Amino acid sequence: MNKNKIIPAPDGRPCIVPSVLSADFSCLKKSLRGLERQAGWVQLDVMDGHFVPNLSFGPHVASGLAAATPLALDAHLMVERPGMFIQPFARAGVSLITVHQEAEDDIGACLKKIRSLGLKAGLALRPKTPLSRALKYLGRVDLLLLMTVEPGFGGQSFMPGILSKISEARRAIAGLGRPVWLQVDGGINEDTAPLAARAGADSLVMGKAVFSNPDPSGFVRKLNARLKGKQLL
């Protein structure tokens, strides 16, 4: 599927991933303008109203967004049955699909299906889900997402108790001998991003902090400089 853009490989430096859940839906293209050189890619939070209480995007939104930005798209499937969403989002042009360990479908089969379509595969864990439940899949994923809030709602506060889990996950990834993004999502802002990065996260999903700023591109540029310059204190 050559229309699907490329998710970059981890290079050891933190990467900011804007979540459009917090963007202005009336003009998503305008909301993303200027972020092309600052962001790693863009995330779509896909919610089915069952796995989490809210409803959000369908594949048609992903398709429209793929046409509106040169950035690659990541579909974070917060859904009970991710298997039925994989093919439609792949056709819509996303480059990475993340499924939840706690979903009802066979997770191994979902990861295999994602990769068979030529896409990057991600696995997500809720805050209370032990990291041990993801370890057997690490060799089959390109991204491990640790939720730092309960999934389903934007604007929640970062859970500092997850920092030790991030560090443990970083150690597990280091033992693989292959690159895997370690992503965090939930309550990430200019204060908590350095904490997560210091613990080992290298993909930082940010929604409200980016899109509530009067200058989203400038905000991300300055935070990038701070994180990539190792100014994490």
Q: Which residues are catalytic?
A: 45, 185
Residues facing 122 on adjacent strands: 98, 143
Q: Nearest-CA neighbor of 187 among 224, 225, 161?
A: 161
**Alpha-carbon span 9 to 115, nearest angstrom:** 15
- Mapped onto helix, strand or coil, the DSSP state of residue 45 is strand
DSSP state of 61: H
DSSP state of 35: -
Between the alpha carbon of residue 49 and those of residues 57, 66, 82, 90, 206, the distances in Å are: 11, 24, 13, 21, 22
- Mapped onto helix, strand or coil, the DSSP state of residue 78 is strand
Exposed, middle or buried: residue 94 (CB in 10 Å: 0-12, 13-18, 19+)? buried
Residue 16, phi then psi, degrees to nearest 5: -90, 130
Structure tokens at 107: 């997770």
Looking from the CA of 91 toward its CB, the CA atoms found within 13 Å total 8
Angle subtended at Cα 98 by Cα 194 and Cα 167, rounded to the nearest 5 degrees? 35
